[in-house]
Amino acid sequence: MLKGIGKALQDALDGKETAASPAPATSPLLNAHRRRILEYLSLRPFTTGGKIASDLKMSSSSVVWHLRSLVSGGYVVHRHDEKVYYPKDFVDPADADLFITLRTSKRRDALRSIVESPGISKVELSGAMNASRQTASKVASELEKLGLVTVAIDGRFTRLYPTNVLKDKQEKQHLRARAYVERILTRLEDERQSPQVLRRTETELQLRIGKGRGKGVLSIPLDPYGTLVN
């Protein structure tokens, strides 16, 4: 070996083949807007692109572009029948109707009133919602259909009680979220994004990913069921 010549150059002069360094992998999550969208969908799964654009103050065309990248990258699922999106393998797809129904603040307010005041009458619920009795009755029926409340007749009053359905789903989500976190970490490792865990609890995962100028922080809420009445 000639003095002052590096091994790679010497191998080239000798006609030896050297293993090429693997090209750095790319990840949809290196884009800050896509991270924001994934974070949002982790909190509000089964949301339309229009609602995402409105809440995140982004243009609809930009949101659609980034959602396509997240879907093709395997991070997000597009449910075509209802035009909604949710993080892949994060929540139970069978709960789409639950999240879609509770998308509106009026329905969340109704459920919160029932949870905070078990046995509340439909008349009292209409007052708590600042809505007509007809609207309160309609919302109560929707919540009953989802199994979130039960109805009891008390004389001339119809009283509403919360069930344990939402609490049970929240407990199951804790187990699902743990598996989801492991998949996210493995996926980012496979994409060679050097994920560094900054915070990990039952309700949140915070990671630093990427290197150099592409470095960013991803904060994923892990308890969407627990925020449905907030």
pLDDT along the chain (230 residues), means of 10: 48 50 69 96 96 96 97 95 94 95 92 95 93 94 96 90 95 94 94 93 94 86 89
Distance CA 34, CA 134 (A): 41
Where does residue 188 rank: exposed (0-12), middle (13-18), buried (19+ CB within 10 A)? buried
H or E segment to which residue 208 belongs: strand 204-209
Closest CA to 191 of 16, 8, 19, 28: 28
* DSSP-derived secondary structure for 37-81: HHHHHHHS-SEEHHHHHHHHT--HHHHHHHHHHHHHTTSEEEETT
CATH for 99-163, options being 1.10.10.10, 1.10.287.470, 3.40.640.10, 1.20.58.220: 1.10.10.10
Task: Note the pLDDT tens digit of each residue in 116-156.
Answer: 999 999 999 999 999 999 999 999 999 999 999 999 998 88
Identical fold between 28-88+191-227 and 99-163:
yes
CB atoms within 10 A of CB 208: 15
- For helices 32-43 and 60-72, the axis angle rounded to 10 degrees is 80
pTM: 0.84
Q: Which long-range contacts (CB under 8 A, 24 or more apart) does 48-57 make?
A: 48/83, 48/84, 48/85, 49/83, 49/85, 51/103, 52/85
Distance CA 150, CA 41 (A): 29
Distance CA 198, CA 175 (A): 21
The first and second tokens of residue 222, run together, are: 């892990």
Domain 28-88+191-227 - what CATH class?
mainly alpha
Any idea where the domains of the chain sit in the sequence? 28-88+191-227, 99-163
The first and second tokens of residue 21, run together, are: 């360094």
Query: What pLDDT does 177 receive?
Result: 96
Query: What pLDDT does 211 receive?
Result: 81
107 backbone φψ class: left, alpha, beta (φ>0; ψ -120 to 50): alpha
- Size of the chain in residues: 230
Distance CA 24, CA 199 (A): 26
Query: What pLDDT does 21 receive?
Result: 44
Q: HSE-up of 214 (CA within 13 Å, CB side)?
A: 15
